[in-house]
């Protein structure tokens, strides 16, 4: 007799995998009607959620299950990094075809558990149901000292624009993975960045704590989509230099140039710094390159300067509605 045990059994299995992660502030983890969590005094709570849908955000026959597990949490945690905060706990909502409740689920949970441990973000609860495809929604709760959160809306004309790391590598990794046969492995840097992105938590926290950044966001949909969003939120324009962009060297310069502007999924940080503070921004932070790519300008135009010629920066990044 197949009975209500099915859903409860799945929940118990998820809980078992996460039992090894030590709790700091979770009073009542998964298993009751809801989770109970104790906020830190003097802190604000950061809330974010992210879809990871089979067919839209990952391909089941291309992406290893453990990478799906890692990335679904890492993507959401990147939004916490983008505010300068620290992740605390997460809720996992999952719909799963019955055929995947065995090995695929085990590998998925192992990737998720590794991310949970690495990012210090505990499982607090969730909701499971049946589905024809894998549907994942992750909610992450983070914290930041009161008044310190970095928003998209703080950029001022004259501010320098920076990005962390190298842009376009995750998209390059996706292209490689699409060309490859069967399930991909993280055999090179680009694929690794696509499969196992690392949210820039330390950099984000440092920029918030030092108050160096005036505005910040993470690059999830590509610079050409995300920079205009930051500019719109701040009511400003921007001028970036094509030559200064930290393009990947893992492919030919032509492909690298397209990828650096439009490649999504990098989860690097995009931030602005008042000109008087530019000298305080190091060339790299804990081994992560920081590159000045242009400046915030008056008006609403976002342009990219290429060979001395300024052209409008047209969004070419990833939008699921396109």
> Under rule CB under 8 A, which residues in 243-302 are in contact with its own copies?
none
What is the rounded distance in angstroms from the CA atom of residue 27 to the CA atom of residue 33?
13
CB of 143 to its own copies, least distance (A): 9
Number of residues this chain uses to bind its own copies (CB under 8 A): 74
Q: Which of 19, 24, 36, 211 binds its own copies (CB under 8 A)?
A: 36
Applying CB under 8 A, among 23, 139, 251, 291 the residue interacting with its own copies is 139
CB-nearer residue toward its own copies: 50 or 265: 50
Site for its own copies in 177-236 (CB under 8 A): 217-218, 221, 225, 228-229, 233
Write the secondary structure of 146-182 as one string of H (helix), E (strand) and C (coil).
CCCCCCHHHCCCCCEEEEECCECHHHHHHHHHHHCCC
Binding-site member from 80, 121, 177, 247 for its own copies (CB under 8 A): 80
- Which of the residues 53 through 72 are near its own copies (CB under 8 A)? 53, 56-57
**Helix 65-81 and helix 103-118: axis angle, to 10°?**
30
Residue from 74, 109, 112, 135 touching its own copies (CB under 8 A): that is 135
Using CB under 8 A, which of 124, 134, 203, 240 touches its own copies?
124
CA–CA dist 277, 298 (Å, integer)? 19
Spatial CA neighbour of 213 closest among 296, 280, 150, 289 = 150
Strands 135-145 and 43-53, how do they pair? antiparallel
238 is an interface residue for its own copies by CB under 8 A? no
- Tell me: does residue 102 bind its own copies (CB under 8 A): no
Those residues whose C-beta lies under 8 Å from the C-beta of residue 309, and which sit 6 or more positions away, are none
Residues 6+ apart with CB under 8 A from 135: 51, 53, 54, 93, 94, 95
CA pair distance 206, 202, nearest whole angstrom: 6
Instruction: Answer yes or no whether residue 49 interacts with its own copies by CB under 8 A.
Output: yes
Q: For residues 126 and 168, which CB has a smaller minimum distance to its own copies in the complex? A: 126
Q: Which of 83, 170, 261, 273 binds its own copies (CB under 8 A)?
A: 83
d(C-alpha 192, C-alpha 172), whole Å: 10
Site for its own copies in 140-159 (CB under 8 A): 141-142, 144, 146, 149, 151-153
Closest CA to 102 of 181, 9, 5, 8: 9
Q: Counting contacts by CB under 8 A, is residue 7 touching its own copies?
A: yes
Q: How far is the CB of 1 from its own copies (least distance, A)?
A: 8
Site stretch for its own copies (CB under 8 A), options 78-86, 110-118, 271-279, 293-301: 78-86
Stretch that binds its own copies, among 38-46, 160-168, 172-180, 295-303 (CB under 8 A): 38-46
**Nearer of residues 34 and 180 to its own copies, judged by Cβ:** 34
CA distance linking residue 241 with residue 6, whole number of Å? 56
Binding residue (CB under 8 A) for its own copies from 51, 107, 110, 157: 51
| Part in contact with its own copies (CB under 8 A); list of ranges 52-60, 163-171, 252-260, 283-291 | 52-60
Tell me the CA distances in angstroms from 146 to 48, 70, 84, 187, 213, one per residue in order: 17, 29, 11, 42, 16
Using the contact rule CB under 8 A, the part of the chain among 102-110, 129-137, 195-203, 283-291 near its own copies is 129-137
Contact 141, 37 (CB under 8 A): yes
């Amino acid at each position: 007799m197949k009975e209500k045990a099915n859903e409860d059994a799945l929940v118990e299995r998820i809980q078992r995998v996460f039992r090894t992660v030590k709790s700091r502030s979770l009073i009542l983890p998964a298993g009751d009607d809801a989770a109970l969590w104790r906020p830190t005094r003097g802190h604000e709570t950061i809330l974010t959620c992210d879809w990871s849908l089979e067919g839209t955000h990952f391909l089941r026959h291309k992406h290893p299950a453990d990478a799906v597990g890692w990335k679904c949490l890492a993507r959401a945690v990147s939004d916490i990094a983008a505010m300068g905060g620290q992740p605390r706990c997460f809720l996992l909502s999952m719909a799963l075809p019955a055929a995947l409740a065995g090995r695929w689920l085990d590998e998925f949970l192992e990737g998720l558990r590794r991310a949970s441990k690495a990012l210090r973000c505990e499982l607090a609860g969730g909701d499971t149901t049946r589905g024809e495809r894998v549907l994942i929604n992750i909610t992450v709760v983070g914290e930041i000292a009161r008044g310190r959160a970095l928003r998209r809306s703080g950029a001022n004309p004259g501010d320098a624009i920076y990005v962390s790391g190298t842009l376009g590598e995750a998209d390059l990794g996706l292209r490689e993975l699409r060309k490859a046969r069967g399930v991909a492995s993280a055999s090179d840097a680009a694929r690794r960045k696509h499969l196992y992105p690392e949210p820039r938590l330390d950099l984000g926290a440092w920029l918030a704590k030092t108050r160096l950044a005036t505005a910040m966001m993470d690059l999830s949909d590509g610079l050409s989509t995300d920079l205009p969003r930051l500019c719109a939120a701040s009511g400003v324009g921007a001028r970036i230099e094509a030559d200064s962009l930290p393009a990947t060297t893992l492919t030919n310069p032509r492909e690298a140039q397209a990828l650096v502007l439009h490649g999504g999924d990098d989860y690097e940080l995009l931030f602005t710094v008042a000109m008087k503070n530019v000298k305080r921004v190091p060339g790299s932070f804990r081994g992560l390159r920081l590159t000045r790519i242009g400046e915030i300008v008056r008006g609403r135009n976002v342009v990219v300067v290429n060979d001395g010629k300024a052209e409008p920066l047209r969004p070419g990044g990833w939008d699921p509605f396109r």
